[in-house]
Structure 1
Amino acid sequence: MQYQTYPPSPHLAPLIKCFWSLEFAATPQPEKQTIIPDGCIELIIHYGDLYQQFQENGSSFIQPRSFVFGQLSNTLEIAPIGHTGIIAARFHPDGFIPLATIPLAGMENRAVPLTELFGEESDFLEKNILIASTQAERIQHIETFLLARLNKLEVLDCIVKSSIEILVSQAGQVKVEEMAEKLNINRRKLERKFSINVGLSPKQLSKIIRLQTALKQLNQNTELSLTELAYQSGYFDQSHFIKDFKAFTGISPKQFYADHLQLSALFIGTN
């Protein structure tokens, strides 16, 4: 399994955390993979075979070849149906809003086809990705496409960006009321801004950042006890940590390194 990250160009760095690619061969019996929320919207293009996405009611469907996945508020189950070849852009929590053509709330937990967002012109991007021979070429095609559709960066909300910086710097260990007071803004107004610009509430993003911090620590030191992990991640106690963990992942922390979390484990602690 080959997973790599790449920095965006300076023009897109305010919006994009990184580009990433993933490749691995088809297996006779592909397993479901559980993707854990990370607070980021992703633009994903499959230049390999497509993926099957599973729903809570037990049904499934094949994902589009090119799409933007909105904010995850719970886990996502997917499985490859052949050879995996993916190139993707991972946006900052508020990074997609200058490109959004529909409300972010309408993208939550959805793989929104690029054609729904950008029309038939996105077909040319998809074709260019499919015929490209290197990841550098694929990234260049995506950047050219995004820059041509980019509204002014002034659309980025400075209050939201400052809030995200606070959440990240404190690993999600800050109350929304405290953050609103620090930024001299009413809590409800801050929540409305997050809904528009991030697609999550400040509390949801805070919990996701804190969970990702815990997962990164667990990834770096598998010998940590759950009690140590809980306190280091800012939880009141072990039971509070386990409750939040299960709420997002559907499993206990001890099950984290099961095979069906192989993909999520790749993305922990990445740029």
Structure 2
Amino acid sequence: MKRPLAFTPPTDLQEFIASYGILEIPDGQTETYFSPPLAMSGFIINIGKNKGTVIARIEDRDFFTANAVAGGQVTAPVYGELVGEVKSIMVFFKAMGMHRFFGNDLSQLTNSSKALTEFLGPEEADLLWNNLKAQPDNQQQINILNDFFRKHITHREEDKKLEKVLDYIHEKQGNVNITEILESFYYPRKSLERHFRKKIGLSPKVYIKIYRFKCLINFLEHNPETTWSQLASQTGYFDQSHMSRYVKEYLKVSPNSIVTLDMDYINYLLNR
């Protein structure tokens, strides 16, 4: 799979959105893809799907079938294929971005998706869809999305504490444990668990595991000559077997078989 075109959101949206991506598959061309867990939720809007086909599956079931969806956090890879002609517009939300825009309970979207007509309501979803489809220029489509999200910006005081926890996890590259978070932020365990599931879509433990895995793959991309044992020790895993377990869980291959995967596309996704 070729890398999608990447677009950085404007400054006022960067605390909510990590990036946008646009991928175009020409008529008659087929691209397969494999996406590991990203520690992010997102929108996927497939323009021109009436001419092509988009297949997305997770754990041997459909992840989505609608042209435009809101997708939640996943704990297993999403895989499938795009058969052109199709243009796919992707919005990668930061961990709390979707909840902060729409106030939704992200636990209801874990390992699943919801059609945008259901998520936003038919009127708002159809307006966004029609605006995007009427404007074929990539940058203009990103501008349409920027204007759309600006209307949904909210700043809730109650979200600030959890954002600080996320910042701490990210600074530590996932090398933290729950007890450390509870003691550092005076967070009751049940409240931390409830807030993570509702506002992020994962338990804090699972989110930390996936984020540490992202850091592992990012480190490997920039240090390709690192041995597996060195990689494990430098990215916070107990040992090589501990690291291998998570590689197998999220990439479905052993570390030695990573070279068989489309790592260029996977690295693009995990660098969001």
Q: TM-score, normalized by length of structure 2?
A: 0.89
- Counterparts of 2:92 and 2:185, CA distance in 1: 27
Q: Deviations over 1:48-68 (max 9, x none)?
A: 4441023434x5586321111
Distance verdict in 2 for CA 1:61–1:232, change over 3 Å? closer
Distance verdict in 2 for CA 1:88–1:54, change over 3 Å? closer
Give the match's secondary structure for 2:59.
coil
Q: Deviations over 1:31-59 (max 9, x none)?
A: 3x2211111111121124441023434x5
The corresponding residue for 1:71 is 73
State whether structure 2 residue 153 is matched by structure 1 residue 145.
no
Alignment of 1:140-219 (within 5 A): 140-148=143-151, 150=152, 152-154=154-156, 157-219=159-221
The corresponding residue for 2:240 is 238
Q: Does the CA-based 8 Å contact 2:101-2:154 persist in structure 1?
A: no
Question: Which residue, out of 105, 112, 128, partners 1:125?
Answer: 128
- Identity value in percent: 24
Give the aligned residue type for 1:9: P
Deviation at 1:19, TM superposition (A): 1.6
Q: Does the CA-based 8 Å contact 1:35-1:261 persist in structure 2?
A: no
Alignment of 1:4-83 (within 5 A): 4-25=5-26, 30-31=31-32, 33-48=33-48, 49-57=52-60, 60=62, 63-83=65-85
Q: Does the CA-based 8 Å contact 1:2-1:24 persist in structure 2?
A: no
- Counterparts of 2:68 and 2:153, CA distance in 1: 21
Distance verdict in 2 for CA 1:14–1:72, change over 3 Å? same
Provide the aligned C-alpha RMSD in A.
2.2
Deviation at 1:248, TM superposition (A): 2.0
- Counterparts of 2:248 and 2:203, CA distance in 1: 19
Deviation at 1:177, TM superposition (A): 0.8
Which runs of 5 or more residues in structure 1 are unaligned?
Answer: none
Aligned length: 267
Which runs of 5 or more residues in structure 2 are unaligned?
Answer: none
